[in-house]
Structure 1
Amino acid sequence: MAIHQVFPEQYQQQLDDKIQQLSADFTGFVAPEVEVFTSAPRHYRMRAEFKMWQEKGQAHYAMYQPGEYKKPFIIDNFEVGSEIINQLMPKLLTAINKNDLLRERLFQTEFLTTLSGEAVITLIYHKALTDEWEAEANTLREHLGVSIIGRSRKQKRVLGDDFVIEKLSVNDRIFSYQQVETGFTQPNAEVCEKMLAWALDASTELKGDLLELYCGNGNFTVPLATHFNRVLATEISKTSVKSAQFNLQQNQIDNVEIVRMSSEEFSQAMDKQRSFRRLADINLDSYEFSTVFVDPPRAGLDDHTVDIVKGFDNILYVSCNPETLRHNLKSICETHDIKRFAAFDQFPYTPHLECGVLLQRKR
């Protein structure tokens, strides 16, 4: 992980600069004023990973300057990390440096924390993990009061759980989410709450059924399902599909069907180019889709999926990459108008912005 310097007194200016750049990048589009959603200026990241720099029999947390990935910088705290991460870091390091079995050949440490106070720490080694290691790690787990996962080549030892349960507050309702150690989750939980609230607000007047591509662990699926009759969601990751099904059950959502397939595959099924055994029990023609929700990876939507998306009256598009969003919108805006445009500052002090766009078919 690269170092990001934190200057809370400069937070608003750095965000203003990013919004100005975003507006400049989208000057070719007819769009309303950007709705801006801020982050906390400190302690906003719920996940973190550190290289463990070993020197003179002691381990240290280390990070890198962007572009200088062979020169580690020793750090004592991580101001962008959650308060729980910063509480655990010194306690963990002290315990590791008192125990050679836990310290030796340790090369990376990862933290996964939540607003609800849970945490998982993953210790990654260049050595086999023995029963003796597990006994010491279990003592460490009891000392810290968190789950510990040990990883090495072809090994995974879980002491406690390999997931946390996050609780996000959206419009006065609490939604619970299982977040698995290896699965993707939104790193800035408070901004995630704002993203979910925005998506709900943007879909208030939308009716019928919803198609969601790239549903992940059901982060958006769970709250959006409350606004639609039925939801069909797709996701390629087995881990994420399993978590999404767990999260639907946890939140008592019963109008969602999840299919494990890529957006490209589903687009082929929608166009009836291919039949898939995974869709054998699902009658696509029975759905009355009015809206599609997409939250693609940084590469954005492929051309075929863009064509499929353009067939819907309403499009909700959440993007982690304004550049690929702009590319996709050049095609989508041939048939749709931008009704709302939002920016979410998931990663303060970096150039990155997440965007949310509501589009509706031209009249």
Structure 2
Amino acid sequence: MSRPQFDPSTYAAQLAEKTQRLRELLAPFAAPEPEVFDSPREHYRLRAEFRLWREGEDRHYAMFEAGDKHTPIFFEQFPIASRRINELMPRLKAAWQASPALGFKLFQVEFLTTLSGDALITLCYHRPLDAAWQAAAEQLASELQVSIVGRSRGKRLVIGKDYVEEELQVAGRLFRYRQPEGAFTQPNGAVCQKMLGWAYEALGQRDDDLLELYCGNGNFTLPLATRVRQVLATEISKTSVNAALANLADNGVDNVRLVRLSAEELTEALNEVRPFRRLADIDLKSYQFGSVFVDPPRAGMDVDTCELTRRFDNILYISCNPETLAANIAQLHDSHRISRCALFDQFPYTHHMEAGVLLQRR
């Protein structure tokens, strides 16, 4: 993980630069003025990863500038990370310094926290984990009130849970999420909550069905399912699928069918190119899709998936890479126009940003 250039005094200027960049990317498509959702200036990041770097007899939390893996930058506190992470950092360091069972050949530490206060720590080792490690980790988990996952080559030991539990509020309703260790989750919880609210409002209340591609752990699925008759959602990661199924059950959302398929595979299924056993009990023709929701990886949608979305009157698109978002919109611009767009500043003090657009049929 590279180090963000943290300087709250520059926040307004960097957000203005991002807003202008999004305007320029979407200008060829006559986009309206973007709605801008800012971030807390500090303590906004719910996860953090550190390498441990030895200097003398001590090891320190370390990060590196992009492209330089040899010049560590040491941290005692990390102001962009959640207050929970900052509270845990010195206590964990004291623990590995005091306990050979915990500290021996420990080379990386990962923190995963939530707005609701849950926390999980992953400890990565260049050695096998043994009974002494497990006993020390159980004691530490109890003292810190966290879950701990130990990782070494070919082994993963879990003390407590292998996920954290988050609570996010959308339109007055509280949704609860299991967020697994090692799986993707939105790093900026405050901005994620704003993204969910924007998507919920942009979709509107509908009496038809929603197709969702790249649904992950159901982050958007849960609130959007309350706006439509039923949802067919797809995700390829088995870990994320299992988390999404648990989240649907935990929140009593019963109008979603979730299928472990990639977006490309679902495109083939809908185009009747080939059948899939995972769709054997789903009648695709029974759905009345009026909208599609996509939140693809940085590469954006491939050409065929992008062409699939053209079938729908409404395309609700969340993007972590506005350049590939613009490329996808260019493919769809002859049939769909941008009626709403938004900037979500998930990553302050970096050039990265999330964007959202609602594309509607002309």
TM-score interval, normalised by the smaller of the two chains: over 0.9
Aligned-pair distance for 1:205?
4.5
1:98-137 equivalent positions in 2, closer than 5 A: 98-137=98-137
Alignment match, 1:96: 96
Taking structure 2 as the reference length, the TM-score comes to 0.98
- Provide, for residues 203-224 of structure 1, a one-character-per-residue CA deviation record: whole Å limited to 9, x for no partner: 1154400000000000000000
- Which amino acid is 1:178 matched to? R
- Provide, for residues 117-168 of structure 1, a one-character-per-residue CA deviation record: whole Å limited to 9, x for no partner: 1100000000000101111111111111111111000111111111111001
CA contact (8 A) 2:112 2:181 kept: yes
Aligned-pair distance for 1:355?
0.6
Alignment match, 1:145: 145
- Give the secondary structure class of the aligned counterpart of 1:157: strand
The count of corresponding residues between Structure 1 and Structure 2 is 362
Alignment match, 2:259: 259
* Matching of residue 211 in structure 1 with residue 211 in structure 2: yes
User: What is the CA–CA distance in structure 2 between the aligned matches of 1:181 and 1:248, rounded to whole Å?
Assistant: 18
Aligned-pair distance for 1:358?
0.3
User: What is the CA–CA distance in structure 1 between the aligned matches of 2:54 and 2:236, rounded to whole Å?
Assistant: 38
- Give the secondary structure class of the aligned counterpart of 2:69: strand
CA contact (8 A) 2:175 2:251 kept: yes
User: What is the CA–CA distance in structure 1 between the aligned matches of 2:208 and 2:171, rounded to whole Å?
Assistant: 22
- Which amino acid is 1:8 matched to? P
- Which amino acid is 1:154 matched to? G
- Give the secondary structure class of the aligned counterpart of 2:31: coil
CA contact (8 A) 2:291 2:315 kept: yes
CA RMSD of aligned residues (A): 0.9
1:1-363 equivalent positions in 2, closer than 5 A: 1-362=1-362
- Which amino acid is 2:56 matched to? K
- Which amino acid is 1:320 matched to? C
CA contact (8 A) 1:108 1:124 kept: yes
CA contact (8 A) 1:149 1:157 kept: yes
- Give the secondary structure class of the aligned counterpart of 2:128: coil
Aligned-pair distance for 1:25?
2.2
User: What is the CA–CA distance in structure 1 between the aligned matches of 2:185 and 2:311, rounded to whole Å?
Assistant: 29
Aligned-pair distance for 1:324?
0.4
137-146 vs 289-298, which moves further:
137-146
Unaligned runs of 5+ in 1: none
- Give the secondary structure class of the aligned counterpart of 2:61: strand
User: What is the CA–CA distance in structure 2 between the aligned matches of 1:69 and 1:16, rounded to whole Å?
Assistant: 31
Unaligned runs of 5+ in 2: none
User: What is the CA–CA distance in structure 1 between the aligned matches of 2:32 and 2:112, rounded to whole Å?
Assistant: 37
- Give the secondary structure class of the aligned counterpart of 1:192: helix
User: What is the CA–CA distance in structure 2 between the aligned matches of 1:82 and 1:281, rounded to whole Å?
Assistant: 43
User: What is the CA–CA distance in structure 2 between the aligned matches of 1:146 and 1:290, rounded to whole Å?
Assistant: 43
User: What is the CA–CA distance in structure 2 between the aligned matches of 1:2 and 1:175, rounded to whole Å?
Assistant: 32
User: What is the CA–CA distance in structure 1 between the aligned matches of 2:230 and 2:140, rounded to whole Å?
Assistant: 46
CA contact (8 A) 2:205 2:228 kept: no
CA contact (8 A) 1:206 1:291 kept: no
- Which amino acid is 1:77 matched to? Q
User: What is the CA–CA distance in structure 2 between the aligned matches of 1:205 and 1:85, rounded to whole Å?
Assistant: 38
- Provide, for residues 52-96 of structure 1, a one-character-per-residue CA deviation record: whole Å limited to 9, x for no partner: 112333221000012212221111111110000000001110111
- Provide, for residues 169-212 of structure 1, a one-character-per-residue CA deviation record: whole Å limited to 9, x for no partner: 11221100000001110000010000000001001154400000
Taking structure 1 as the reference length, the TM-score comes to 0.98
User: What is the CA–CA distance in structure 1 between the aligned matches of 2:207 and 2:361, rounded to whole Å?
Assistant: 14
Aligned-pair distance for 1:9?
2.0
User: What is the CA–CA distance in structure 2 between the aligned matches of 1:138 and 1:194, rounded to whole Å?
Assistant: 36
User: What is the CA–CA distance in structure 2 between the aligned matches of 1:284 and 1:68, rounded to whole Å?
Assistant: 50
204-213 vs 81-90, which moves further:
204-213
User: What is the CA–CA distance in structure 2 between the aligned matches of 1:110 and 1:358, rounded to whole Å?
Assistant: 35
